[in-house]
Amino acid sequence: MQIDYVEHCGSSAAGEFVRTIDSTCIASGWEEWEAVMGRGQFPTKEGLDKARSRSPFSWQEIHSDNDKGFVNVHLVKYSEETALRFSRSRPLPC
36 contacts 50 by C-beta, under 8 angstroms: no
What average pLDDT does the segment 31-45 reach? 91
Residue 51 identity (one-letter amino acid): A
Q: Where are the alpha helices (DSSP H) in the chain?
A: 41-54, 73-81
pLDDT at 65: 78
Cβ neighbors of 85 (< 8 A, separation 6 or more) are 60, 61, 62, 79
Q: Which domains does the chain have, with CATH numbers?
A: 1-6+16-86 (3.30.420.10)
Residues 64-87: pLDDT tens digits?
877 676 777 888 889 999 999 988
pTM of the model: 0.83
pLDDT at 91: 58
Residues 1-36: pLDDT tens digits?
999 988 888 888 888 889 999 999 999 999 999 999
pLDDT at 93: 56
Q: Give the DSSP letter of residue 66.
A: S
pLDDT at 82: 95
What average pLDDT does the segment 25-54 reach? 93
